[in-house]
């Protein structure tokens, strides 16, 4: 959810400022770009050097740095951000935000920001309970800001009660959950298959193909980025997911069939991009086959057609996407597969196209819908191709 997102973190004067260091580390780990703004009082609790080191960006403290002659453009910062988090936010800064006061860089950036703003209060119990603080919270929330409520616990004053800033992990989870609610596939269960299958000949040899799994992983990541709850079923591959998905590793076509049929009924959208073997050895040897004969043959049997099986199980409420990698009669073969296997879309790759095929970072696709209407795309990175595929699926889902 946070990968490549631009986040401004405002830090106010509070003993809880030490938590901002942990929060920055979690944001960076999640793939976000973080810029930090410290108030003058915050510098009494945590140093700009610490936060600059963790965020990998200079820390902003003033409108104008006299030593360097650098002016911090509050409008530019506000427009740069996808999200603004102020954690900890003090009672003083909350009062400024609620009443439009603008006497430091943080409040100026807040007033300039066009993005969602989240604030995590930190103060003593009586300050938090005070009527003026409650009024400021109500006012801030009425502006569309999102409060990350403080928890109860031991406070710096020695009192016990409400006022502790939320823990960094709680702030991250709150942010992700809130982002997900606004995504088009929030909570939708999606199944994606990726990679090859390996069919054993003996304990050391197998029948396989050149699929890397890159396309399937890119689709799984894009779906997760749209808010979906993704189950990724993948054959042997070195690829790793960028976003959080539930990964199920398999080796053979039979194992992939079992995983797919177990998860299909719970999936609203299924995207079958794996390159599953069509044949598997009838009798895999239990020991390594020795090189004795001049000629050697292996009896093969057909594997179960996973896509056909799912097409037969599919309900009208489910969306099923197939892939066709062809070398001849590409469009005719793809359209035949679309109808035969009861698909909603089929994605055609041709090995005759430059930039398409296995183990490449690019792909060139044509997509056919149920009416056999086609959309042709140019050569793009597999990440961009995944976006094109997911946009077509999103149109189907929202129709």
Tell me which residues are annotated as active site. 209
> What are the backbone dihedrals phi and psi of residue 351, each rounded to the nearest 5 degrees, phi first?
-70, -10
- What is the distance, to the nearest Å, from the Cα of residue 191 to the centroid of all Cα atoms in its chain? 15
- What is the distance, to the nearest Å, from the Cα of residue 248 to the centroid of all Cα atoms in its chain? 17
> What are the backbone dihedrals phi and psi of residue 342, each rounded to the nearest 5 degrees, phi first?
60, 50
**Taken in order 63, 146, 246, 393, is the CA torsion positive or negative?**
negative
Smallest Cα–Cα separation from 193: which of 282, 105, 260? 260
- For 393, residues 6+ apart whose C-beta sits below 8 A from its C-beta are 269, 271, 319, 321, 345
**CB crowding 86-114: b at 16 or more within 10 Å, else e:** bbbbbbbbbbbbbeeebebbbbbbbebbe
- 345 with 297: CB under 8 angstroms? no
* CA gap 116, 118 in Å, rounded: 7
* CA gap 367, 167 in Å, rounded: 46
* CA gap 207, 367 in Å, rounded: 29
* Torsion on CA atoms 172, 174, 177, 183, rounded to nearest 10: -80
- 206 with 165: CB under 8 angstroms? no
Strands (DSSP E) found in 274-386: 279-281, 300-302, 319-326, 345-350, 362-363, 366-369, 374-376, 380-381
Smallest Cα–Cα separation from 260: which of 190, 198, 315? 190
Tokens in use for 304?
């179960």
* Torsion on CA atoms 64, 66, 70, 71, rounded to nearest 10: 20
- 250 with 234: CB under 8 angstroms? yes
Pairing type for strands 33-38 and 6-11 reads parallel
């Amino acid at each position: 959810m946070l990968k490549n997102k631009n986040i401004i973190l405002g830090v106010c004067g509070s003993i809880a400022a030490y938590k901002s260091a942990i929060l920055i580390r979690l944001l960076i780990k999640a793939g976000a770009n973080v810029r930090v703004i410290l108030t003058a009082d915050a510098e009494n609790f945590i140093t700009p050097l610490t936060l600059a080191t963790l965020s990998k960006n200079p820390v902003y403290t003033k409108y104008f740095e006299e030593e360097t002659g650098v002016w911090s453009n509050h409008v530019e910062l506000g427009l740069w951000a996808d999200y603004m988090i102020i954690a900890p936010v003090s009672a003083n800064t909350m009062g400024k935000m609620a009443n439009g006061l603008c006497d430091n860089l943080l409040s100026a950036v807040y007033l300039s920001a066009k993005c969602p703003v989240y604030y995590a209060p930190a103060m003593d119990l009586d300050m938090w309970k005070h009527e003026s603080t409650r009024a400021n919270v109500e006012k801030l929330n009425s502006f569309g800001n999102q409060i990350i409520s403080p928890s109860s616990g031991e406070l710096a004053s020695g009192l016990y009660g409400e006022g502790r800033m939320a823990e960094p992990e709680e702030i991250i989870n709150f942010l992700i959950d809130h982002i997900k609610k606004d995504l088009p596939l929030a909570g939708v269960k999606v199944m994606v298959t990726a990679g090859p299958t390996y069919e054993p000949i003996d304990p050391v040899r197998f029948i396989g193909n050149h699929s890397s799994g890159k396309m399937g992983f890119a689709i799984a990541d894009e779906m997760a980025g749209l808010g979906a709850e993704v189950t990724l079923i993948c054959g042997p591959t070195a690829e790793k997911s960028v976003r959080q998905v539930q990964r199920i590793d398999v080796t053979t076509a039979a194992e992939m069939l079992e995983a797919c049929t177990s998860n299909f009924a719970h999936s609203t959208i299924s995207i079958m991009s794996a390159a599953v073997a069509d044949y598997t050895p009838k009798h895999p040897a239990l020991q390594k086959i020795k090189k004795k004969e001049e000629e050697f043959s292996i009896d093969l049997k057909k594997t179960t057609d996973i896509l056909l099986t799912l097409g037969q199980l599919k309900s009208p409420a489910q969306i099923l996407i197939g892939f066709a990698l062809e070398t001849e009669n590409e469009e005719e073969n793809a359209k035949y597969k679309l109808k035969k296997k009861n698909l909603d879309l089929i994605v055609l790759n041709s090995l005759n196209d430059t930039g398409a095929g296995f183990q490449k970072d690019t792909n060139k696709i044509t997509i056919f819908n149920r009416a056999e209407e086609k959309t042709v795309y140019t050569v793009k990175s597999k990440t961009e191709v995944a976006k094109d595929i997911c946009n077509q699926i999103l149109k189907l889902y929202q129709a």
